[in-house]
Amino acid sequence: MRPIIRFSSTPLSRGISTSAPVSAVAKPKKAGATSKNAKQGFNQKKKEVSPGGSGGSGQSTVALKFSMAGQPPDLSDLPRLQPGNFKSDNVGKPTTFPKATFDKLRAFSLSKKVEQELSSNGGPASVIRQSTIDLARQLDANKGKSSKDSRYVLTGERGSGKSMLLLQTVAYAMESGWIVLFNPKATEWTNSSSHFIYDPLTQLFSQWQSAQKILSTLLAVNKDNLDAIKLTSDIELAQGKTATKGSKLSELVANGSKDDRIAVKALDSVMAVLEKQTQFPVLWAIDETQTLFTTSQYRTPEYQPIEPYHLSTPRLALDFISGRRSFAKGTVLSALSLSDPKNPLSPSLISGLKLATSQPITPYTQLDPYHSLHASSGLKKREIPFNMSDKEVSGLYELLVRKGKTSANRSDNLYMELKSLSGGNPNEIKRGLSRLTAAITV
């Protein structure tokens, strides 16, 4: 005879007990929703009451570690990164960015990595390197020359500090009265992150959003200089609009930044005016330039890949990088970034610039002829060394100590360990110190 199995209405026990059985107490039923419109679903979460100190308000508490305690570091005694301090005597010295200069730099939308580094404890600061001085002197030497003869590209190993050197040079130009156009993230022009449409008149894919962004940052940083430049002739824009002769260049820039229908044409016209004017030298600085020398992530309606020289904004940049267009007075300064493995150097760029690489370039390597021509158009390489000098390493270590990245009591052993393990590479020094600090504080 089979046993009779009865299913109890009480919840099953989650454990096994060897003591005498005890009748389980039924759980009180939860009050159901009284309204038919009561929300139900998986997105609802229970409100958690913080344990103690909140008075039942439901606010969460923050747990502080001992390493997080203390006053923010004070770097006010450090010299400012101003033109007067760009001297060889200051190589290896930590400096801070003036607030007005840093606010202008942030208007250009810095990369996330640079933004985090400069916004850390103590505020924006960097170390003056010999390369910093060399680039500033190069700008001064080219102040009255055409940018066709002053086109440079910063090359070097990953973590050598190319982006920071580019930033320091941009700061120097802004403080020295230049008109500055700075694009820290050229990858945004080719990563298919903004709208585009084919323009049969120019036979290019117009990118009005990137054009508007360039114009708005140009105006925000250089308004006083742009106010001083007057148009020498009428400029016909799209949609029947016209920029009249004698009006301020800043008005054309403002109109283009606000109206997406004329943004691409306005940007091209603004650059044409900057090419001819001689009142102010012009610096166009571009980071992540390697993205302009490889196939973009944009696709045609037929899903055919689009090359950067068929997109309006990269095409404009390539015109100045290659020397097809140039400022009467100014410099074009670009930098190659190796921080993103998804955006490597293309064989065409490596071959055109004759860069050292582990990728073999053979007669069978497929090269894009246009990318190769742009890369071999007379760009002058400025090789940034992998390692910093002893003075520069010492200055960087001092700055990191002042920012609270390690104990305020300097350790010669820690300094020598960081220097030897990193090979003097600035990025590896910061990474090594972060790992050591995390191991101590966690």
Per residue of the chain (442 residues), give pLDDT as tens. 444 444 444 444 444 444 444 455 555 555 444 444 444 444 444 444 444 444 444 555 555 454 555 577 889 899 999 999 999 999 999 999 999 999 999 999 998 889 888 887 888 999 999 999 999 999 999 999 999 999 999 999 999 999 999 999 999 999 999 999 999 999 999 999 999 999 999 999 999 999 999 999 999 999 999 999 999 999 999 878 899 999 999 999 999 999 999 999 999 999 999 999 999 999 999 999 999 999 999 999 999 999 999 999 999 999 999 999 999 999 999 999 998 888 999 999 999 999 988 878 888 899 999 999 999 999 999 999 999 999 999 999 899 888 877 655 556 777 888 888 888 899 888 887 766 554 444 4
378 plus 432 within the same structural domain:
no
Same domain, 313 and 429: no
End position of a domain, from candidates 367, 383, 399: 383
The dihedral formed by the CA atoms of 38, 39, 41 and 47, expressed in degrees to the nearest 10: -100
Strand partners for 100 = none
Q: Is 238 among the domain residues?
A: no
Q: In this structure, are 378 and 393 located in the same domain? A: no
pLDDT of residue 217: 97
**Integer Cα distance of 41 and 44 in angstroms:** 6
Note whether residue 334 is domain-resident. yes
What's the domain range around 415? Answer: 388-441
Are 289 and 425 part of one and the same domain? Answer: no
Residue 335 falls inside a structural domain: yes
Q: What is the pLDDT of residue 402?
A: 87
* CA–CA separation, 342 and 79 (whole Å): 38
Residue 65's pLDDT is 53
Instruction: Kindly state whether residues 425 and 293 are assigned to the same domain.
Output: no
- Asked, for residue 433, whether it belongs to a domain, the answer is yes
- Reading the block at residue 413, the tokens are 């052993």
Q: Which of 383, 411, 430 is the last residue of a domain?
A: 383
Residues 289 and 397 in one domain: no
Q: Looking at the structure, tell me whether residues 150 and 284 fall in a common domain.
A: yes
Is residue 281 included in any domain, yes or no?
A: yes
Is residue 44 situated within a structural domain?
no
**With contact defined as beta carbons under 8 Å apart, do 162 and 154 qualify?**
yes
Query: Are 393 and 345 part of one and the same domain?
Result: no
182 and 286 inside one domain:
yes
Amino acid present at 167: L
Residues 127 and 184 in one domain: yes
Question: Is 139 contained in some domain?
Answer: yes
| Residue listed under structure tokens 């350790």 | 411
pLDDT at 107: 94
Q: How far is CA 261 from CA 200, 209, 230, in A?
A: 15, 10, 23
pLDDT of residue 150: 96
Q: What is the pLDDT of residue 360?
A: 82
**Domain co-membership, 102 together with 154:** yes
- What is residue 188's predicted lDDT score, i.e. its pLDDT? 96
- Contacts for 133-141 with beta carbons within 8 Å, 24 or more apart? 133/86, 133/87, 133/88, 133/91, 134/382, 135/165, 135/168, 135/169, 135/172, 135/333, 135/382, 136/83, 136/86, 136/169, 136/172, 138/331, 139/169, 139/172, 139/173, 139/176, 139/178, 139/283, 139/331, 140/176
Q: Mind spelling out the 3-state secondary structure of the chain?
A: CCCCCCCCCCCCCCCCCCCCCCCCCCCCCCCCCCCCCCCCCCCCCCCCCCCCCCCCCCCCCCCCCHHHCCCCCCCCCCCECCHHHCCHHHCCCEEECCHHHHHHHHHCCCCHHHHHHHCCCCCCEEECCHHHHHHHHHHHHCCCCCHHHCEEEEECCCCCCHHHHHHHHHHHHHHCCCEEEEECCHHHHCCCCCCCEEECCCCEEECHHHHHHHHHHHHHHHHHHHHHCECCCCEECHHHCEECCCCEHHHHHHHHHHCCCCHHHHHHHHHHHHHHCCCCCEEEEECCHHHHHCCCCCECCCCCECCHHHEHHHHHHHHHHHCCCCCCCEEEEEECCCCCCCCCCCHHHHHHHCCCCCCCCCCCCCCCHHHHHHHCCCCEEEECCCCCCHHHHHHHHHHHHHCCCCCCCCCHHHHHHHHHHHCCCHHHHHHHHHHHHHHHHC
Whether residue 430 sits in one domain with residue 375: no
Question: Which of 359, 383, 407 finishes a domain?
Answer: 383
Residue 368 lies in a domain: yes
Number of independent structural domains in the chain: 2
pLDDT at 250: 97
Cβ-Cβ contacts under 8 Å for 196 (sequence gap 6 or more): 205, 206, 207, 298, 311, 312
